[in-house]
Chain A
Amino acid sequence: MLTFTIRRSLLAIPTLLFIALVIFLLLELAPGDPMSEMPLTIPPEVKEKMRLALGLGQPWYTRFYLWLYQFFVVEPQYWIDALFGTDLAQGAQRIISFQSRSPVFEVIAQRIPQTLWVVGMSYVVGVLIALPIGIISATRQYSWFDNLGTLISMIGFSVPTFFSGVLLIVIFSVNLGWFPSIYDTTLVVDDFSSLMMQIKQMAMPVFVLALYNAAQISRFMRASMLDNLGQDYVRTARAKGMKERVVVLRHVLRNSMIPVVTVIALGVPGVFGGAIITEQVFKVNGLGQLLIIAIHGNDIPMVMTLTFIFAALIVLFNLIADILYGVLDPRIRYD
């Protein structure tokens, strides 16, 4: 397993470089222009000068190389400088966003807290709800609990967040006035009342997202449990007189985890990707909103950096999932 891990990690480097190239070419090919958000009153000649000032006059491979260099050399230098007070970077150009003309990593760092609070929290909550629901639904198939769970998760998945989010706002912000409809990213949590405030403003987006995540994961959990509950080894275990609890939680659960681990591992990078629509509905302004604004404004350095980090996380978490398969089912071997 160790050699597998090392081999896969080494393989990740060319994979990621290739992914970076494909993403860059995709962004190059995509229609759209950093000047699209400028008003029409700015004449075309001025827009052309602005494009040149953004470095768009250079051929794509020069810009791709520059991005690679800045991402892998300049940015780490700045981080080391910030940590140890050295001066490795010596004022080299960092990756600069087209829209805000500021270093993209500073903006990303600014967005991480609210993304983790809202999207991360909703994912954790979603997983924590989904696993027990999936297990109970499977062990008591077609009980009222199972049917209710099915109903809620199907509604949770098939009602889009642009609708459920606004519905919650209309009920809880407009009519009842319990929660704010606009998330305050500047809120500092340092005492009990600000914590309550934070919980209040998180409540609705976390609920919407957690429902969506839980719906999906609980369905896979339930289906996989049902598959395994019918297997011969379960009958054997029961025949040996093992308690039902032990049968379910130790044997069936472990063997049912493979699809669930896959789904969860695929979802974790999604936390970093943010939740574009939910963030928009509740004005959370996390990484999802950052990405969508950057895409709309054709802010190539920002989109490139965000998607590349996202790609790295996908590669990483899919590797983790593969390792976990081996742990869950020692018969699975890769070498």
Chain B
Amino acid sequence: MTEDLLQVRVRNQWWDVWDQFKTHRGAVWGGGFLLFITLFVLLGPYIWQLDATKLDIRNKDLRPFYTALSGTANWTWAHPLGTDNLGRDTLAKLIEGGQVSLSVGWVAMALALVLGTLIGVLAGYFRRLDNLLMRFTDLVLSLPLLPLLLVMMLLFRDQLRAAFGPETGIFILIVVVIGITSWMQTARIVRGDVLALKEREFVLAARSIGTPAYRMIIRHLLPNVMSPIMVSATLGLANAIITESALSFLGLGFPSDYPTWGKLLFDSVDRMADYPERVIWPGLAISLTVLSVNYIGDGLRDALDPRIRGL
């Protein structure tokens, strides 16, 4: 802490957070990769203009360019990562699939997180709500997932489709379905932590000076349950990307010719031994995205913790 005290005082505290964040190597790498993959899926279609659903049956089962090293492979620069069994370009599918997977993943994860945190904090902080909310959590945990999904599809698919059009309607449905079936773990964890936190001295102190409940929650409780929430976020993102691919088998997801990372992976499992690239690329994309979110979460947690930031 050699900086000028005056300057420190006028500095916004978020600059401190950013400074601390920058020193976290994993977080910087993670942020970099996330930026890259986001640009890849957003700008990719402008640079790589092949349509991911375009069939080209004469050029089916092409191998990626690097297999040229083995000499025998059938490959072309027109499809650098190869094509699938119907001649669809793998690179284009990765780009287009990424758009869907990332947007579904982020939104569904955020929804689950908000729901879970809200219910967890309310149940943990207000004793009167605890029983009701936790028994409701038990109920949702016990519902069999598959029939629940089918019922939701039955009730809402056509309405959403009529209101928002086929693609947006299905997007909303998927995100909501994943969100409301995966908040329970977060809620239980947050509640457990809040139960313990609200007996801590600093909370008692804050309460004794008459801090209202909402400020209590925002300023004192939430910052202290950030780290399990960060972990939930990381796991939730992976979970949402994988779950999306499972949904399309129920007729609940996007139409079958709509690529997503999870679906690319699933469709290629049968041909894994002959065409490893078809599982490696989507698998890597999912894993690296989740890994980078994890590191960003780590970095954020460190940066937001004044005890660490002060060091």
Interface residues of A (CB under 8 A from B): 11, 15, 18-19, 22-23, 26-27, 29-32, 142, 147, 150-151, 154-155, 157-160, 162-163, 166-167, 170, 174, 216, 219-220, 223-224, 226-227, 230, 255, 258-259, 261-263, 266, 269, 291-292, 295, 303, 307-308, 310-311, 314-315, 318, 321, 325, 329, 331-334
Q: In the complex the two chains form, what is the Cα distance from A29 to B151 in whole Å? A: 6
CB distance from A151 to the nearest CB of B (A): 7
Q: In the complex the two chains form, what is the Cα distance from A174 to B272 in whole Å? A: 13
Q: In the complex the two chains form, what is the Cα distance from A32 to B291 in whole Å? A: 39
- B217-255 contacts to A (CB < 8 Å): 224, 227-228, 230-231, 234-235, 238, 241-242, 245
Residue pair B290, A154 in contact (C-beta under 8 Å): yes
Residue pair B196, A30 in contact (C-beta under 8 Å): no
Chain A residues with CB below 8 A from B184, complex form: 266
Residue pair A32, B150 in contact (C-beta under 8 Å): yes
Kindly supply a per-residue 1/0 record for chain B positions 35-55, scoring 1 wherever the CB is within 8 Å of any chain A CB and 0 otherwise.
000000000000000000000
Q: What's the interface size class on B, roughly?
A: 35 or more
Chain B residues with CB below 8 A from A226, complex form: 227, 301
Residue pair A315, B138 in contact (C-beta under 8 Å): yes
One of B71-79, B83-91, B92-100, B261-269 contacting the partner: B261-269
CB distance from B31 to the nearest CB of A (A): 16
Q: In the complex the two chains form, what is the Cα distance from A151 to B234 in whole Å? A: 13
Chain A residues with CB below 8 A from B135, complex form: 11, 15
Among A219, A295, A321, the most chain B Cβ lie within 10 Å of the Cβ of: A219
Residue pair A230, B305 in contact (C-beta under 8 Å): yes
Residue pair A318, B139 in contact (C-beta under 8 Å): no
CB < 8 Å neighbour of B147 from A167, A295, A318? A295
Chain A residues with CB below 8 A from B143, complex form: 22-23, 26, 307
Residue pair B290, A158 in contact (C-beta under 8 Å): yes
CB < 8 Å neighbour of A219 from B127, B235, B279? B235
Q: 7 closest A-B pairs (Cβ-Cβ)?
A: A311-B142, A331-B199, A30-B147, A158-B238, A158-B290, A223-B227, A154-B291
Q: In the complex the two chains form, what is the Cα distance from A283 to B192 in whole Å? A: 37
B189 contacts chain A at the CB level, 8 A cutoff: yes
* A220/B231 contact (C-beta < 8 A), A154-B294, A160-B262 known: yes
CB closest chain-A residue, reference B241: A158
Chain B residues with CB below 8 A from A147, complex form: 26
Among A11, A163, A318, the most chain B Cβ lie within 10 Å of the Cβ of: A163
Residue pair A224, B235 in contact (C-beta under 8 Å): no
Besides A220-B189, A224-B228, A334-B127, 6 more A-B contacts (Cβ < 8 Å) are: A150-B26, A154-B294, A157-B235, A314-B138, A331-B196, A332-B196
Residue pair B192, A19 in contact (C-beta under 8 Å): no
Residue pair A325, B291 in contact (C-beta under 8 Å): no
Q: In the complex the two chains form, what is the Cα distance from A15 to B139 in whole Å? A: 8
* A332/B199 contact (C-beta < 8 A), A216-B235, A266-B141, A314-B142 known: yes
Q: In the complex the two chains form, what is the Cα distance from A326 to B28 in whole Å? A: 40
Residue pair A26, B188 in contact (C-beta under 8 Å): no
CB < 8 Å neighbour of B131 from A11, A216, A303? A11
Chain A residues with CB below 8 A from B189, complex form: 220, 259, 262-263
